[in-house]
Amino acid sequence: MRGAPRLVIVGGSDAGISAGLRARELDPEARPTLVIADAYPNFSICGIPYWLSGEVGDRRHLAHRTREELERAGLNLRLQTVAQRIDVEKRELIIRTPDDHPEAIDYDRLVIATGAVPARPPIPGIEQPGVHLLHSMDDASGVQDALSAGARSAVIVGAGYIGVEMADALIRRGLDVALIEQAPSALITVDPEFGELVVEELTAHGVRCTIGVRVTAIEPVGDRLVVTGEGGMRAEGEIVLVLAGVTPNAQLAHEAGARLGVRGAVAVDRQMRTGLPDIWAAGDCVETHHHLLDKPTYIPLGSTAHKQGRIAGENAIGAGAEFAGSLGTQVVKVFDLAIAATGLRETSARVEGFNPLTVQTTADDHKAYYPGAHPLQLRIVGDRDSGQLLGAQILGHVSGQVAKRIDTIATAIHHRTTVAGVSDLDLSHTPPLSSPWDPVQIACQAWERARRSRSEPLQTVGV
């Protein structure tokens, strides 16, 4: 093969763009062609709540890079073009052009980055006008149009990350907001003790929360939508957002012969190879290698998609890079709170064969004598037998550097540090920002004390 390989990438979000840019960075002769189903390349889906809240004034600001910047970087963008089928033997991608004509694009190497699609729970009435599944820029525009037309009330079904962020956003827009979640608390990626505090924060800002109730129907009544659920639950609003998570968009890869794995995501190895000749896949459509457990799982996160796309793009032009894996590290802001998590919770650690201990600690985010100190609540999970650090959750005020502190824990877990070893880390200190012992170190020291005392599975320590 002479010259750079013909690289075709399906998908124009985090993984696809990262793959194309990395290929160009390593091989300036490469000119990747990106087949993108919509008109919004490289837009931050994670930023949608902040545009709808009004905190981001122009939706164009959600683009990590403009179309012009991407094209100057050497990417050939085929917008509003749908990838329909892969002919593996002929090495062709069959597409539908914007004017609805079929076309075949030849490739030498192919990266599939088709992302995820919103989960559609079996709720009668979910297809009603005014019900929105918020995952794309077109979805977001539909909600924005309703708000601009004067909608003053909303019902949100689902209290995951996007659900609580949208509750925050719509309250900021002046709407009356009801939030319904069938799980026992909000944010099922953190322990119920923290999920309950998130519900308290939402309630304090005017969100009417109903927790532990399954929605059974959505139906129009006059100019409003009525959401009903178990136990006689009833809520109504001019718009309804059903935010029940996502499922991998793996159909294109699967129909080409790729094997599916966890939760129906495309099975890939550490080099993001699908097993099909010269076809890689990355992002929310694929399995994620869990760094701590050394096995595949499914963790649809933008940060993970960027990393996987970079690996896929690098390998598609001939390298042999490997994805280091993910710990599921994430953080969300809800009004004045920030909540973050990384690694394993106690329940999942026990399933994986560890002997876990969870210890909750409260510590100020900086020295209390300097004005503005706020308490942080930290939950450390470690293995009683080996002392290995397994996971953590942190909840505190948005000014408390919660994200920075969960990143410290994530870094320690990545490098297989013990809980005791966190105290050896050389972390920064100045009274307005921290303490001589950072709160993560205070929490880990409390865990060590609880372990030595052979305490009950959960201890709460105030510092």
Q: What is the CATH number of the domain that holds 147?
A: 3.50.50.60
Q: Is residue 58 part of a domain?
A: yes
Only one residue has tokens 């690289």, namely 7
Picking from 162, 302, 180, the residue whose alpha carbon sits closest to that of residue 237 is: 180
Same domain, 251 and 108: yes
Q: SS3 for 46? A: helix
Q: Is residue 122 part of a domain?
A: no
Name the percent of the chain lying above pLDDT 90: 96
* Range(s) of the domain holding residue 108: 7-117+247-316
Per the structure block, which two tokens stand in for 454? 């052979």
Same domain, 216 and 262: no
Rounded Cα distance between 410 and 332, Å, is 16
Cβ neighbours around 410 below 10 Å, total: 22
Helix pair 14-26, 302-316: axis angle to 10 deg: 40
Same domain, 231 and 251: no
> Would you place residue 207 in the very low, low, confident or very high pLDDT band (cuts 50, 70, 90)?
very high
**Can you tell me the mean pLDDT for 17-25?**
97
Q: Is residue 324 part of a domain?
A: no
* Number of compact structural domains in the chain: 3
Element (H, E) at 179: strand 176-181
pLDDT score of 457 more than 80? no
Same domain, 452 and 434: yes
Q: Is residue 321 part of a domain?
A: no
Rounded Cα distance between 262 and 295, Å, is 10
Same domain, 33 and 146: no
Q: Is residue 77 part of a domain?
A: yes
Sign of the four-CA dihedral 148, 149, 152, 158: negative
> Would you place residue 2 in the very low, low, confident or very high pLDDT band (cuts 50, 70, 90)?
low
Rounded Cα distance between 227 and 14, Å, is 34
pLDDT value, residue 135: 87
Entry pTM: 0.94
Same domain, 239 and 253: no
Per the structure block, which two tokens stand in for 429? 């200190």
Same domain, 12 and 81: yes
Only one residue has tokens 């290995």, namely 388
Same domain, 348 and 457: yes
Q: What is the DSSP string of 87-126?
A: ETTTTEEEEE-TTS-EEEEE-SEEEE---EEE-----TTT
